[in-house]
């Protein structure tokens, strides 16, 4: 049986900032997704928009902390 944490349905981005969306109800998860999709669409640059760059490449700094989930693993050896 999957147990969901009771969480209020979010209405703003700050409401979803500290939610673990892996363990909330479908209603809370879908509402949070709609909020995030809305923010994404508002910030997305499309061809023709000022500042749009096709195939933009970004160099990232090395991480400052260990991320064990990002380690090489034989668990999924394809």
pLDDT at 1: 43
Q: Which residues contact 27 (CB under 8 A, 6 or more apart)?
A: 9
How buried is residue 10: exposed, middle or buried, by Cβ count under 10 Å (0-12/13-18/19+)? buried
Residue 45 CA to residue 42 CA, distance in Å, equals: 9
Is pTM beyond 0.75? Reply is: no
Helix (H, G, I), strand (E, B) or coil at 71: coil
Q: What is the pLDDT of residues 12-69, one digit of tens each?
A: 778 888 888 888 889 888 998 999 999 999 999 999 999 999 998 999 988 888 777 7
Work out the pLDDT band at 71, boundaries 50, 70, 90.
low
């Amino acid at each position: 049986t999957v147990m969901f944490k009771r969480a209020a349905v979010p209405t703003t981005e700050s409401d979803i900032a500290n939610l673990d969306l892996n363990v909330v109800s479908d209603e809370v998860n879908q509402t949070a997704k709609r909020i995030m999709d809305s923010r994404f669409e508002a910030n997305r640059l499309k061809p023709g928009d000022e500042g749009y760059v096709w195939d933009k490449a970004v160099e990232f700094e090395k991480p400052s902390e260990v991320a064990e989930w990002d380690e090489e693993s034989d668990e999924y050896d394809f």
